[in-house]
Amino acid sequence: MATTGTKSFQNLIGGEWTDAASGETFESTSPADGETIGVFPRSGPEEVDRAVEAAKAAFEEWRLVPAPKRGEILFNLARILEREKTALTDLMTHEMGKVKAEAGGDVQEAIDITYYMAGEGRRLFGQTTPSELRDKWNMSVRQPIGVVGAITPWNFPIAIPSWKMIPALVCGNTVVLKPARDTPALGERFVELIAEAGIPAGVVNVVHGGGGSVGDRLVRHPDVRVISLTGSRETGVEVLKAAADTLTHVHLELGGKNAIIVMDDADLDLAVEGILWSAFGTSGQRCTAASRVIAHEAVYAALQSKLVARVEKLRLGPGWEDDTDVGPVINKDAIEKIHSYTEIGRDEGATLLTGGEPATDGDLAKGFFYRPTIFADVDPQMRVAQEEIFGPTTALIRVRDVDEAIRVSNGIKFGLSSSIFTRDVNTAFRAMRDLEAGITYVNAGTIGAEVHLPFGGTKDTGNGHREAGQAALDVFTEWKSIYVDYSGKLQRAQIDPS
């Protein structure tokens, strides 16, 4: 098998590294300077079919491996990921563009969830309950479902595959992974390390290619029993439609339009730090990014001044340079979309305070860099306050009180992450209750989830499922209720007396 140094990669199907049958390939390049990361097979339905067949065959044995033994393999994987953290971090700064600290955090999330889910190998709790009849035992247990299709994005190219694959594996499922076309080297390297940890051949497979050829076939394949997708709302709707004919279980993690509320009693310096991290971390390319800041009118001007001053000191550059604050966005299409929203904001009457253009000076011209952008005087109904931009842009919205702040925060179609900065415990608890989101932070930004709590959102952010924590087990298992009657006679529940 080739490594990153040779620039040539393959699919992993049933334990064998293979090219696409068509012989076609595509390149992965760095968004920071255009460096070629590697050449990958442009796969199609044929490769998906073979991978699903391999995963289906491997499931019959993998599901019978005792869950504690599956957990032991994952503990081994976690240790391998720790060993490889520096190398994975470096690869991520080049292929995806994250700055070093964030790339290291991405890898650390995979380490954390792997340790956490490995422990589930000795839990995977069911339930016991008393029977309504004498001499009868009742219990419920979790059982694996089968082949899982994991379709992952480029913005968290190690963390998100781990959120999907690791709980699926500890529960006894097998996996076909389709990494994002912008970060295939990271997806492949993750799978290589899973194989090194001792996962049997066929239990984890990787097929490279586009959503139209690889992703669509994976979603429609009758032997794929679970699809887990992180992507846009539009893609999620299409996946639900495509999976309907086979009644495939579908888990969707979709968009966000998250807000940070800053009340009049907030620590403004702390709030600015939270906004900087949430709005411009990962160049705003997070579903949890704070693309709205809802500020009380009493602190609006001061917050605006402090925030602009800090943003204008941020340094753009390649993620692998130690003094870079903001890396590139992922590709040319992203630059064009982000800039289109700058024009939309101007046309709608918002005030552009800073940024609002691609950065093309010096070496930045080699990559896809966009200057951190802040709009002020934003009406909550403007498109820049309603639609996901997925770039380093945030909108400042003025409100009169906490009632209006919560109403504005909730006044969107998404419901992923939310935040409030306040020193008032009553206001904090009010926000915790009333903000319509799957995640609420108090005196912190909108990003920074921990793997032992559920991750996901409400409304158009998904379809009700969650990643991470105990809730992830519900995506990758089905419940079986078991009744054991040791009375020696036929007892009919709800009919015969106890």
Confidence class for position 6, pLDDT limits 50, 70, 90: low
N-terminal to C-terminal alpha carbon distance within the chain: 64
Do 105 and 200 lie in a common domain?
Answer: yes
Are residues 353 and 246 both part of a single domain? no
**Domain shared by 270 and 290, yes or no:** yes
- pLDDT at position 4 is 45
Q: Mean pLDDT throughout 353-376?
A: 98
Whether 237 and 297 share a structural domain: no
- Clarify whether residues 234 and 343 are in a common domain: no
Over 60: is that where the pLDDT of 230 sits? Answer: yes
Q: Once rounded to an integer, what is the mean pLDDT over residues 328-345?
A: 98
Residue 496 pLDDT: 82
Answer whether residue 451 is part of any domain: no
Looking at the structure, do residues 235 and 339 belong to the same domain, yes or no?
no
Do 302 and 240 reside in the same domain of the chain?
no
Q: Are residue 18 and residue 137 in the same domain, yes or no? A: yes
Please list the active-site residues.
253, 287
Residue-wise pLDDT for 127-179, tens only, equals: 999 999 999 999 999 999 999 999 999 999 999 999 999 999 999 999 999 99
Structural domain for 393, as ranges:
258-442
The CATH code of the domain that includes 71 is: 3.40.605.10
pLDDT for position 297: 98
Residue 3 confidence (pLDDT) above 50 = no
CATH number assigned to the domain comprising residue 298: 3.40.309.10
Q: Give yes or no: residues 55 and 174 share one domain.
A: yes
Q: What does the pLDDT read at residue 7? A: 84
Please give the tally of structural domains in the chain. Answer: 2
Task: Say if residue 249 is in the same domain as residue 325.
Answer: no
Q: What is the mean pLDDT of the segment spanning 31-52?
A: 97
* 204 located within any domain: yes
Question: Is the same domain home to 347 and 274?
Answer: yes
Domain-terminating residue out of 413, 442, 471: 442
| pLDDT at site 285 | 98
Angle in degrees, CA 14, 16, 18, rounded to 5: 115
Q: Does residue 488 sit within a domain?
A: no
Q: Rounded mean pLDDT of the chain? A: 97
Structure pTM?
A: 0.96
Q: Residue 498: is its pLDDT beyond 90?
A: no
Q: Which helix (H) or strand (E) holds 127?
A: strand 127-130
pLDDT score, position 497: 75
In this prediction, residue 396 carries a pLDDT of 98
| Residue 1 predicted with pLDDT over 60 | no
